[in-house]
Amino acid sequence: MKRTMITVAVVSVILGAAAWARKGRKERRDPAARIVSAQRGPIEQAVDASGFVAPMNRVEVKSPVGGRIEKLLVDEGDRVSAGQIVAWMSSTDRTAILDAALAQGPEELKKWQDAYKPTPIVSSLPGEVILRNVVVGEAVSAGAVLFAVADTLIVNAQVDESDIGKIKIAQKARVRLDAYPDRWTQGKVYDILFEGKNVSNVITYGVKVRPDQLPPFFRSQMTANVSFLVARKEDALLLPAAAVNDMPGGKRVVSLPPGPDGKPVTREVRVGLETDEQVEILDGVALGDKVLLPQGKYVAQKAPESSPLSFMSRGMRGGGAGEGTAPKPKRPAAAAGK
């Protein structure tokens, strides 16, 4: 009875494994090539690059003498003009005199404050304060950075040398920040650097992009993705890029639906603008013509270890000793003379 139950269980596992394998193959098989039609629509070719937001011109406002910060007149985000006083500070000598006068009373302090004037800190660049590096009462040394002022923010993009020939002055560009992935900012190229950078044997050239309108959410050093518009057509004849195949000799062909004889038909085409998703067709296919879009070939999948087959193999390795466990190894024979 026990042997009959084991036999039934093994047969059930085998049948289940076969059904499981058939189901897996059915679910993993790609559909056959489908038919698409040539359509008209817009297409644009672009060069993509990464970069970062940076000031066009950045000036650090430094302390002219060592001393103590007495008053701050601006903060980060404020607009300043050239020559505007942004802070007051006391030199080291004035600080020592005022501290001594303070111990003698308010009248003595006021006398020395009127006699010994503080030192003004002046911005030399009109623009926006992007850094305030001190607080009131802080002691600073001569040359310490107190503020940083930027006239405007731009985007510095790094373009691969294979694409730099496609970039021109005044070329349109779109900018998208990692911090704001749903917002695109329009801009134009205004400078292409002459010296490239070699990083891990990859040569890139700096390209500066000025936004048409500076968004309020731009911040210095934000990571940016830049798309430089190379060409665009509003009404082009388009096919999916996967429908166009490369042939020896540089030919490009498409596959047409089989004819009455059931044999596949190919046709040579001439292409224009190309992207990863679409291809412009200049000749060889007309509006509404149908072509085949291949969907890939079936690749056999390896059965996971948790399949019924692996379970059955583990049970059979057990040789029926216990509940699917392997038999215990025999102990080695005792050595002679012991």
- What is d(CA 113, CA 111) in angstroms, rounded to the nearest whole number? 6
Looking at CATH, the fold of the domain delimited by 49-55+152-232 is given as Elongation Factor Tu (Ef-tu); domain 3 (2.40.30)
Separation of alpha carbons 83 and 59, rounded Å: 13
* Domain boundaries along the sequence of the chain: 34-46+234-293, 49-55+152-232, 69-150
Q: What one-character DSSP code corresponds to residue 277?
A: S
Query: How many whole angstroms from its chain centre is CA 323?
Result: 54
For the whole model, what pTM was predicted? Answer: 0.62
% of the chain exceeding 90 in pLDDT: 63
Q: For 171-209, how does the pLDDT look when each residue is reduced to its tens digit (9 = 90+)?
A: 999 999 999 999 999 999 999 999 999 988 999 999 999
**CATH class assigned to 34-46+234-293:** mainly beta
Which residue type occupies 34? R
Flag whether pLDDT at 215 surpasses 80: yes
pLDDT tens column, 221-234 = 999 999 999 999 99
The answer regarding whether domain 69-150 maps to CATH 2.40.50.100 reads: yes
pLDDT band per the 50, 70, 90 thresholds, residue 265 = confident
- DSSP characters for 93-150? HHHHHHHHHHTT-HHHHHHHHHHSPPEEEE-SS-EEEEEE---TT-EE-TT-EEEEEE
pLDDT at 57 over 90: yes
